[in-house]
Chains A and B, each alone.
Chain A
């Protein structure tokens, strides 16, 4: 999508999965959050991560957004090392800030607590990155931002300050803000968990539209099983830093094979 910005694909690039975790370990002190995880997400695939809190789902998204660094293993994006880069003698070494900055642009993230910039109006939240990262012309960025705000149903709020909006509205602005960077991969981190129940549906409707109307690769961590069923190509059940079961939503929700999955779904559904 960012034709002029994207690095040239390697030979394997065209067919490579959008995301590949290769034996990834993430530890915080003695606490192992991800335990030699192997994971692949195809281009345009919609993957939902479910499982109990603390099972490492959110850590996967945070590693991809470079908010955390892997302890061991390598994360690949589009067939190229992402968490690492070629060092002396062609060996992979942990990526430096420059390597990360050049690559993380293709990834967008929507947070549980929205994290809108409260010192900027809604429209400026959405245009900030296109103008200052992509170098887009201010008028063009504003034009696109208005289109995105319309998409999320907030065309009339462009001059409002984020703090004046409801949680659901803030989250829809955050979605527009993430999409404004035209990411190839969108990460959704429990985006409805902080919302009042009556505001959840509006946000999920917007996300359904995006899932059905674009070819974006989607990774979401959610407790909304209905939403997971609607949009996912594949559901991954996590427990203890590992994938215990994975499959199409009909199967995971319809006839889960693993005892841990049944137990978990029994508790949340």
Chain B
């Protein structure tokens, strides 16, 4: 059943696919982390003209499956590189989750910190970036890290819009050589090998920020 030779043959293709997977994860995460912060901050503005539509949009994105969002954007916005669509959709989808994480982190910053910032007349940008966010981030890095890992494991969805990420490539190799066992075992192993150091890295980061 298992053929080492086939496995060796398929490895380069799968590793190439892994490069795409990594690319999607890195840029998708960046988008999710930045956009999520933007959403969290905007949701604290007093204007309902901002907060209500934003809340509706967040709720909408979160209540629909990411695979349908991928299909929808792919069909509705022709001519874009599927990888770009994939990164954008994953990033926006996860931004709705990270925005909640940010919100919890921001809410956990004591009211006295905001009041001290007012008492010192700090401008809003300084209050956010020098006082509130550094304290909030420290508490939410673990949760953000979990979403990054979770996104990493959802990149196979991108195969449905023809992005040649790892599972897509594994599937292709499997059907070409009728060697699904080798192809998907390799893909699973690569995911496992990649996830472990990421988790360790996250734990280290967490520790560094904790004190």
- How many CB-defined contacts (below 8 Å) exist between A and B? 61
Interface mask (B108-144 → A, CB under 8 Å = 1, otherwise 0): 0010110110111111001000110011001000000
Once bound together, how far apart are the Cα atoms of A63 and B112, in whole Å? 15
For the complex, what is the distance from the CA of A80 to the CA of B15, rounded to whole Å?
71
A107: chain B residues within 8 A (beta carbon): 119
* Chain B nearest Cβ from A126, distance in angstroms: 10
**Are B119 and A108 neighbours in the complex by a CB distance under 8 Å?**
yes
Point out the residue from B112, B113, B121, B131 that lies within 8 Å of A181, measured CB to CB: B121
CA distance A111 to B115 in the complex (A): 9
Q: Closest A residue to B110 by CB, please name it.
A: A115
- Asked if A115 and B130 sit within 8 Å, CB to CB, the answer is no
In chain B, what residue has the closest Cβ to A110? Answer: B119
B130 to chain A, nearest CB (A): 7
A108 CA to B134 CA, complexed, in Å: 24
Secondary structure dominating the interface of A = loop
**What is the total number of residues of chain A having a CB less than 8 Å from a CB of chain B?**
24
Residues of A within 8 A of B112 (CB): 111, 113, 115
Whether A109 and B131, one on each chain, are in contact in the complex, defined by CB atoms closer than 8 angstroms, is no
A133 at the interface (CB under 8 A from B): yes
**A133 and B118 in contact, given A117-B131, A118-B135 (Cβ under 8 angstroms):** no
Interface size class of B (residues with CB under 8 A): 10 to 19
Cβ-defined contact, A128 with B120, below 8 A: yes
The CA of A132 and the CA of B130, in the complex, are separated in Å by 10
Task: Look across to chain B and name the residue whose beta carbon is closest to the beta carbon of A111.
Answer: B112
Chain B's closest residue to A106 (CB) is B121
A65 in contact (CB, < 8 A): yes
| A119, B105: Cα distance in complex, Å | 15
Set of chain B residues within 8 Å of A132, measured between Cβ atoms: 122-123, 126, 130
Would you call B118 and A115 a contact (CB within 8 A)? no
Bound together, the chains give a CA A35 to CA B126 distance in angstroms of 36
Which of B116, B121, B126 touches A101 (beta carbons < 8 Å)? Answer: B121
Chain B residues proximal to chain A, CB less than 8 Å: 110, 112-113, 115-116, 118-123, 126, 130-131, 134-135, 138
Closest 10 CB pairs of A and B: A115-B116, A129-B120, A115-B112, A109-B119, A119-B134, A105-B121, A133-B121, A132-B126, A67-B115, A65-B119
Seed contacts A117-B130, A117-B131, A117-B135; 11 additional CB < 8 Å A-B pairs: A67-B118, A67-B119, A105-B121, A111-B116, A115-B119, A118-B135, A119-B134, A128-B122, A128-B130, A133-B120, A177-B120
